[in-house]
Amino acid sequence: MKKIRLMPDYFCSPIWHNDEIEVGNIDLDELPISNQLKKELLSWADLFDKGLNMDDPSNSYWEEFDYEQFISMGRSLLLKLRTELGSEYQVDYYYD
């Protein structure tokens, strides 16, 4: 079983390896998921990127969207990932 994590970070895919064997970010094209879900994941990651204050990263903000709404969107994406990836993957969510 492959273990992965849904976790946003700035300017990269929101999917990560989550085991002791492999580390780092996973390219969405490496996952057997629909193009629609890939688009949704990239849009979600883009919202996270927009919250970054490049002049002062420690003072980043969530101007375009509400943080709680963002977390909720992630939970919805988590369910879609689990459905599309099936039993070959264990998917967890950074915010849970």
Domain count, the chain: 1
* Nearest residue to 38 via CA among 84, 2, 3: 84
| Beta strand pairing call for 2-6 and 15-17 | antiparallel
Domain extent at residue 62: 2-93
pLDDT digits (tens, 9 = 90+) for 36-50: 999 999 999 999 998
* Nearest residue to 77 via CA among 7, 3, 2: 7
Residue with tokens 């998917």: 91
Q: Could you read off the pLDDT tens digit of each residue along the chain, which spans 96 residues? A: 999 999 999 999 999 999 989 999 999 999 999 999 999 999 999 999 988 888 888 877 766 668 889 999 999 999 999 999 999 999 999 999
What whole-number distance in Å separates Cα of residue 61 and Cα of residue 6?
Answer: 21
Reading the block at residue 8, the tokens are 């946003």
Long-range contacts of 60-68 (CB under 8 A, 24+ apart): none
